[in-house]
Chain A
């Protein structure tokens, strides 16, 4: 069911809970079951990747997942239809690239997300300066547009991004594409603390958050994390929805130590 992400995340933060948003590439085998398992294991929202042929913000894991999903015949419409048919019990956020929305038409894309009960959207290659027309269409359909802020963004830009972003601000944790890393980059906590000083909206760190320990480290400063490749890799390795639920549970348990 579509909810206001602004309220959802600020309520979570007010309760002192650190937010956990797992990302999965749609179209991989068992992805809907995995979303439900993630929600039941303590995810506060789920992020669903609609695969794009040229994902320039993604590293090898999500590239491979996207290729696999597209090769299996996945389309934006089929993903949205599946989400409408078995909506996860927590708010759903769609993540994709601009051309998918642009090709369908911003209005139609936003409306079809809303009709499927999707609450938010992230377009990885749509920065603030170009976001206007999409944001208007999304707002009109009650879909929250979550914008990215990067370690390279100036304070002025971060402020403007925070102003326009709905639900939370997605702090890009490192200079680079998505993927698992040995350790959490210093830039993750730096960008999070810069943003926390500039806005009262929730700040979640994503990109390069790979383990429960790293999630905890980032969430000491931030209001939570988005974790993608760590789950997607497991799905590519054949993990069952139960396995994904278990891994999400490990992140949940670790984050709850910060309560």
Chain B
């Protein structure tokens, strides 16, 4: 593996020791944490080149998480939209979302590094639940930071994390959402770095996280590509995924990055259209596009979905947007709620609000997508959102 210079292939590349995707990425964190990130990079490089690590992770993904996740060809939805929709069913993974892929990888790595405690941030609670699950499985201590606002709108996941033995701590500053949970997790890590691994939940943060988390989610894209060829006999025309930090999108995009004819589309909430606005900034360890005011103060994102309610985005997405390999669009909360109902009604599948963004885009663009094969990464299931939707429809 090349460690000095970044390779040029998008989404398959190793960003090198500087952790750069073009100009984006890097490792902008207090000095206290730099040695830990360097240690993590070395540990990940070794593990990722180690067959035994891969076989252990593959076994866990299969026997514990339930991989491979199926690819569902939608009948009634496709008929309604006039485009052939395929769903990559990450909602069927253990814990209900794609987050488990990354967490099992990081927990194995933490064990390998001799760390006894995991700390994590969570927005919708899916990453927190996955982390608490892995901690229970490996006998690790676990603390999850969650914005106070999110604890309220995702009460079910708070209960799940606590049941799994994790401490859930509210982030009570700022917007009291995902961004503030990351702040608190970083502050915890600054104080506990000797015994603790920061189990970061998306393709963001300081190097090596954006790269490592993408690699742990690569399995989504690899499986989906193979399943497409097998089940529909060809590659999809378009691959669509929601983007908050961007982990599920990075995972599924990575399977198709080298198929230049496949269009890659990331969908952001209108209130958190980070890539859409294209203003670079430094937050939570990396240089990437960032929602901010005219003075560089980070803006508060606004979204119905706690999982996408984040003013930043993974640095590789900024790079993909800049190079034009992927495009990023946004949808409104209203369109998302409609898509949430649409998939439930037509396919008997209640999506999480996050991937409902991706469906909302497909639904809106149906005329342009007519006759195509469109692959949607269904990154999580909607049970966690049911209570919030009950209130919404009142």
Contact = CB atoms under 8 A, between A and B. Distances in A.
Contacts of B290: 99
Given A54-B174, A153-B34, A172-B32, A102 B190 contact: no
Contacts of B187: 56-57, 59, 176-177
Among A56, A97, A100, the most chain B Cβ lie within 10 Å of the Cβ of: A56
Interface string A145-164: 00111111110010001000
Nearest to A104: B296
Interface string A95-138: 00111101110000000000000000000111111100000000
A161 B187 CA distance: 22
Interface string B277-292: 0001111110100101
B4 to A, nearest CB: 14
A57 B191 CA distance: 10
Given A99-B296, A129-B18, A130-B28, A152 B174 contact: no
14 contacts: A54-B283, A56-B29, A56-B30, A57-B30, A67-B173, A75-B295, A100-B295, A100-B296, A102-B282, A102-B287, A147-B31, A152-B193, A153-B35, A175-B194
Interface of B: 18, 26-36, 173-174, 179-180, 183, 186-187, 190-194, 280-285, 287, 290, 292, 295-298
A172 B34 CA distance: 13
Given A76-B296, A148-B30, 14 more contacts: A54-B180, A54-B283, A54-B298, A56-B187, A56-B190, A63-B173, A99-B296, A100-B296, A127-B31, A150-B32, A152-B33, A153-B31, A172-B32, A177-B191
A175 B193 contact: yes
A98 B29 CA distance: 9
A7 interface: no
A199 to B, nearest CB: 15
Contacts of B282: 97-99, 102, 125
Counting contact residues on chain A (CB < 8 A from B), the size range is 35 or more
A77 interface: yes
Contacts of B298: 53-54, 99
A103 B281 CA distance: 7
Contacts of B27: 127, 129-130
B26 A130 contact: yes
Contacts of A177: 187, 190-191
Interface of A: 52-57, 59, 63, 67, 70, 75-77, 97-100, 102-104, 124-130, 147-154, 157, 161, 172, 175-177
A175 B191 CA distance: 5
A161 B31 CA distance: 10
Contact of A176 (B191, B285, B292): B191
Contacts of B283: 54, 99
Given A53-B297, A99-B296, A149 B190 contact: no
Which among B28, B31, B183, B192 has the greatest number of chain A C-beta atoms within 10 A?
B31
Q: Quick one: which of B35, B180, B194, B296 has the most chain A CB within 10 A?
A: B296
A177 B190 CA distance: 7
A150 B28 contact: no
A77 to B, nearest CB: 7
Contacts of B194: 152, 175
A108 B238 CA distance: 43
Given A56-B186, A177-B191, A102 B30 contact: no
A130 B224 CA distance: 37
Contacts of B33: 152
B32 A175 contact: yes
B255 to A, nearest CB: 31
B211 to A, nearest CB: 16
Nearest to A55: B183
Contacts of A175: 32, 190-194
A128 B191 contact: no
Task: Choose among B34, B35, B180, B292 the residue with the greatest number of A CB atoms under 10 Å from its CB.
Answer: B34
A75 B358 CA distance: 37
A76 B293 CA distance: 12
A142 to B, nearest CB: 23
Nearest to A154: B35
A106 B290 CA distance: 17
A35 B295 CA distance: 24
Nearest to B185: A56
A103 B35 contact: no
A157 B37 CA distance: 14
B292 A99 contact: yes
A107 to B, nearest CB: 15
A157 B29 CA distance: 15
A220 to B, nearest CB: 23
A32 B27 CA distance: 34
Given A56-B284, A76-B295, A154-B35, A98 B28 contact: yes
A188 to B, nearest CB: 13
A172 B32 CA distance: 8
A15 to B, nearest CB: 29
Nearest to B312: A54
A154 B36 CA distance: 11
Contacts of A154: 35
Nearest to B296: A103
A63 B171 CA distance: 13
Contacts of B191: 175-177
B61 to A, nearest CB: 32
Contacts of A98: 28, 282
A216 B190 CA distance: 25
B185 to A, nearest CB: 9
A176 B188 CA distance: 8
